[in-house]
Amino acid sequence: MTVHIGAKPGDIAETVLMPGDPLRAKWAAETFLDDPRCVNDVRGMLGFTGTWKGNPVTIHGSGMGMPSLSIYANELIRDYGARTLIRIGSAGGMQPHVKIRDVVLAMTSTTLSTPSSGFFKELNYAPCADFGLLMAAHKAAEKTGAGIHVGGIYSSDVFYDERPDLTEQMTRHGVLCVEMEAAELYTVAARHGARALAVLTISDHLQTGEALPSEDRQSSFADMVEIALEAAFA
C-alpha cells in the first residue's frame, strides 16, 4: 500500500494499461480481462487486475495531466514492480493527414515542462517510447484497419492553452497530435528501467475543429486496448 494506491503486495501485474479516466479503466477491465477484481479505489482512482489470454494485467487510471500520472507511474513501478506501462487515451490531431479515429503511436514527446523537469536542470531531455513496444504496437494496429501514424507528439502541461504560436511551430515541425501525459510517462519509465508507450486515438482536431461523437469514443477506445494488450505480450 502506498499513499495513493491501496493495492496489496502482489495485486498489481507487471503489465499495466493506464487510461486517464478511472471509469474507462473499469470498463476496459470488465470488457477485456478475465476475472477482473478491483485492487485500488483510493481517491476514486480505480485499478483492476485480471488476466488476458492467461497473462496477468492491471488496468489503472492515471488521472488527467502529467502531475497526476507521475504519481501513479512512480508508485506502480517503484512500489509494485510494474515493468511495462502503456498509456491508452485520446488526443487532438495537429496535422492535416491525421484524421479523426486514427491511431497515433507516440515515438517521442515534446513538452514545455514535466514534473521531472527539475531532475534535468538545464538539460532538454528527449522522452521516447520503448522501441520493442512501439514495433509490436504498430504490427497490432495494422490489423485494426484504422489509420496509423508513428512519430512525435506534444504533451501539454495545460489544458486551456493560449499559445497559438506554439501550435503553429509544432505543426510546422511535424508533431502529430497533442495530449497531456506521455512525456512524463516515458521519463519516469526510463528513470526506473521500465518499458513505456502511448497508444492514442484522435478524438478531435485542432485544425479542422472536428470532434468524435461521444457514442463513437467507446469503440475507438476498444481498439486502443486491443493494440496495447497485443503489444505488451508480443
Active site residues: 204
Q: Is 85:129 a contact under the CB 8 Å cutoff?
A: no
Q: How far is Cα 206 from Cα 204, in angstroms, rounded to an integer?
A: 7
- SS3 call for 37: strand
Residue listed under C-alpha cell 501525459 = 181
Q: How far is Cα 96 from Cα 234, in angstroms, rounded to an integer?
A: 32
For 93, list phi and psi in degrees, rounded to 5.
-65, 145
Beta strand spans in the chain (E): 15-18, 34-40, 47-52, 55-60, 84-93, 103-110, 148-155, 177-179, 195-205
- SS3 call for 91: strand
- Our measurement of the distance from residue 127's CA atom to the centroid of its chain's CA atoms, rounded to an integer in Å, reads 13
Q: How far is Cα 180 from Cα 111, in angstroms, rounded to an integer?
A: 9
CA 61, 65, 68 angle in degrees (round to 5)? Answer: 55
